[in-house]
Structure formats: C-alpha cells, structure tokens
Amino acid sequence: MGEYAKYKNQEIKIGTCETMYYLRYEDRHKVKALKGNVDPVREAEGLRFRVPLFSEDGIEPGHYTSHVNDGIRLYKMFEGKPIDYDLTDGDPGRICFRDETSGLQVSVPCLHGYATGKQELGSTIRLGFNGYKSPAILKYLKVHGGLVVPVVSCKHCDKEWRTTWGAIWDYIPSGFEDYKSRFHEYYKTELEAEKAKLLETA
C-alpha cells in the first residue's frame, strides 16, 4: 500500500507500507502526513528510511528517480586490501537463474561470500565465483526501540538484517565520502542507550 504526504503543497509518494523508499530519516519533518497515511514523524517506530547517500544529497523528498539506491558498501581496509563485512552468520537467501532458451529455472542458496566448497548441494551441482562481488551494503535506517539503527542487506539476494552501529562501525567508509560523520549521532545515541541499560541492571 502506497504512503503519501504533502511537500511544498504537493502530494508526493514517500513509501510503501513500512518502507519510506522516497524519504530520508532526517527529512521526515519536511513533509506533512496525509489523512489515512503513515505519519513519518509521530509514527516513525518500525519504519525504514532511505539510506542517505552523498550522491543523492540535495534531492527533495518524493523526488528520487528510483525507489531503491545502491546502499553503502560495508568494508574496511586491512594491509591495503578491502575486507567486506561478514554476512555469513545470517540466514541464506535465494538467487534464481533462468535459461531463456530452455525455460529452465534454478534457485540456489545465496552464499553471501561463503567459500563455495562448504556448501552441500548434491553431486550434480557445482558452484563457484567468477569475479567476486562484495555483498554487504547498508540499505536502510530503521527506527527500532526509539533508536535509529542500521539495516544491512546482501545486494545479491536482497536478504536483510537489522543490526547495531557497533557491529558495523569499523566497516562504514570514512574516506572521501565520510559516512561515519553522517551516522555518528546515531551511534553515539546507541552507546548511551547501552550504557543506561547496563546501569539499570547493575
């Protein structure tokens, strides 16, 4: 179900159900909720917002050309080489392949960067990488328990996981496009919430 709001006296689409495809979290105050639609300010809990890419800065709410963007690749440098954020603890997704000539369609588990030799797929199926593509991206920002938390995804099978800033912080890019400074307040709030929880149980 589409979600709509008013922006500069025009009706715009901001998302579908709980996913605000066309609205960043920091832009939610710029729109006015329409009757019968989600209010991204008062009803933010559980909503997922568009991840704020530097390349999309300046685009107004509801005016993105696509409902999804490429996300932010999660990696860190080690001895001059990029090391991807590890998705292998997550449940495997599925990837479908179709041969147009025969009409044969095959669905296989997405490996999320697993070594292919670890997979038990039977004697007739062989898997291998031909040009590894890093899978882990930061896809959405979600309001959960009053905090803004990251949602990571495998960009190949689109499987998603809600996680913490602490879990991915070392993998957030901070070079030319400094995403760490962009998300610092969310991480700081998460740390403060964790500290408060520890004090409650002490």
Q: Which of 58, 56, 22 is nearest to 37 (CA)?
A: 22
CA distances 161 to 13, 14, 90, 196, Å, are 25, 22, 8, 25
Q: Identify the segments of the chain with pLDDT beneath 50.
A: none
Q: pLDDT for 69-92, tens place per residue?
A: 889 999 998 898 888 888 877 777
pTM of the model: 0.84
Q: pLDDT for 147-182, tens place per residue?
A: 999 999 998 888 999 999 999 999 998 877 899 999
Helical (H) or strand (E) element with 189: helix 179-201
Boundaries of domain holding 192: 2-75+137-201
Parallel, antiparallel or unpaired: strands 32-33 and 2-7 = antiparallel
Q: Which of 124, 84, 93, 133 is nearest to 111 (CA)?
A: 93
What's the number of domains the chain is made of?
A: 1
Q: Note whether residue 130 is domain-resident.
A: no
Q: Note whether residue 90 is domain-resident.
A: no
Q: Note whether residue 124 is domain-resident.
A: no
Q: Note whether residue 125 is domain-resident.
A: no
What φ, ψ does residue 132 adopt, rounded to 5°? -65, 135
pLDDT of residue 178: 92
CA 126 to chain centre: 30
Helices (H), 52-178: 165-168
* 140's tokens: 């959405």
Beta strands (DSSP E) in 44-121 are 48-50, 72-73, 75-78, 81-84, 94-98, 105-109
How many Å from the N-terminal Cα to the C-terminal Cα in the chain? 45
Q: Note whether residue 33 is domain-resident.
A: yes
pLDDT of residue 128: 67
Q: Note whether residue 122 is domain-resident.
A: no
Q: Note whether residue 62 is domain-resident.
A: yes
Cα 26 to Cα 24: distance, rounded to the nearest angstrom: 5
Q: Note whether residue 36 is domain-resident.
A: yes
